[in-house]
A and B are shown apart, each in its own frame.
Chain A
Amino acid sequence: ETGVTQSPTHLIKTRGQQVTLRCSSQSGHNTVSWYQQALGQGPQFIFQYYREEENGRGNFPPRFSGLQFPNYSSELNVNALELDDSALYLCASSPPGLHTDTQYFGPGTRLTVL
């Protein structure tokens, strides 16, 4: 069984640019959540997608947007990058069923904004 995978592993962008991060959920999982983890901090919830629809959003501006595809993979898009967007971006998938709250995390994408 393949776990959650993310690409790319590392990324360097400059302020004002746009970035797209990708996540493949674990087989059979239909819910994907995205988190931002700044250095020395815990992950902060960005948003969640369930069956291709946004299903909750944290305190992040609209320039953070996402997509979920029919195969349940997902993208996180960030426009107009700011220096504070530098962080580890984590994707987590959850299986369908009663305990959908159990999230399985990918290794993350390290984004550096210069």
Chain B
Amino acid sequence: AQSVTQPDIHITVSEGASLELRCNYSYGATPYLFWYVQSPGQGLQLLLKYFSGDTLVQGIKGFEAEFKRSQSSFNLRKPSVHWSDAAEYFCAVGPNTGNQFYFGTGTSLTVIP
């Protein structure tokens, strides 16, 4: 069965510190992988996506993620967090033919000054 696990429900980091949000997936075929960010009361904004090729992908707002097939992981990273990064982050996996997406339960990020 397809699923996405985000092990960390909530993470708190200091402004300027590095960040890594974990995502593990279970999927029977080659997945398409995504990270989205959601600010309170808002929809989801796409941060980055992985379809194929280079396993390190760059996204918007200085985020990057690395696809590791052997670990079934797609962790999101940022070298220096800004206060405006405080939000809910969702990892998602989808088929390569475009249909049903599966989202994790999200990681809530708090940034302290």
Contact = CB atoms under 8 A, between A and B. Distances in A.
Interface of A: 4, 31, 33, 35, 40-45, 48, 55-56, 58, 90, 92, 94, 99-108, 110
A92 B98 CA distance: 12
Nearest to B108: A40
Interface of B: 4, 32, 36, 41-46, 49, 51, 90, 92, 94-96, 98-106
B101 A102 contact: no
8 contacts: A40-B106, A42-B90, A42-B103, A45-B102, A55-B99, A56-B99, A101-B49, A101-B51
A90 B44 CA distance: 9
Nearest to B91: A42
A33 B94 CA distance: 13
A43 B105 contact: no
B102 A107 contact: no
A31 B106 contact: no
Nearest to A45: B100
Nearest to B94: A101
Contacts of A107: 41-43
B103 A101 contact: no
